[in-house]
Amino acid sequence: MRIGLYPGTFDPVTLGHLDIIRRACSLVDKLVIGVAINRDKGPLFSLEERVAMIEAECTALSEQTGCEIIAHPFENLLIHCAKDVGASLIIRGLRAVADFEYEYQMVGMNRQLDDSVETVFLMAEAQHQAIASKLVKEIARLDGDVSKFVSPAVKAALENRLKK
C-alpha cells in the first residue's frame, strides 16, 4: 500500500488544499492529511476544529477517488510524522516561485534526515494559485466574500468564528 502525507496547518482548509488532496489521491492508496499543531502561527481554529473540517471536506473525495483519506494531527518533525504514519511520500502543494524556494530547502533537510521518504510537488490549478489560508482569513475578517476560496461549510465556520 502506497501511503502519502500531505502536511499543513489547514487554518482553514481551502479549495486549493482540496484540489491538491484530490490530485494526490491518484498517486497513493492512502493519504494522510497531517494537521500541524503550530502554536507559533496562532490558528483561528483549534486543532480539533481543523481536523473535523478536513474529515468533513474529504469524505466525498475519498468516495470519489477510492483513496482512504485520514486526518492526523502532528507536532513533531515532518519526517518523523511520515515515519509514524508509514508514508513513503510527502506531498506538497506549490502556488508560486516563493513557495518553491522554501520547499526546496525543506526537501534537502528532510532527505538528510531520511532519504527513504520522497517529496512530490503538485502545482495548484490556475484558479487556486492565489488562495492562501492567511488571505482567506483576512478577507473574512474584513467582511469580504470568501465563497470562491472555501467550501460553503468552511465559509459558514469562518463567519461563525469571526462573529464571536
Active-site positions?
17, 41, 95, 133
CA 77 – CA 63 distance, rounded (Å): 30
Question: Cα 31 to the chain's mean position, in Å?
Answer: 11
Measured CA angle at 15 (ends 118, 57), to 5 deg? 85
Cβ–Cβ contacts within 10 Å for residue 120, how many? Answer: 14
Inter-residue contact 90 to 24 (CB < 8 Å): no
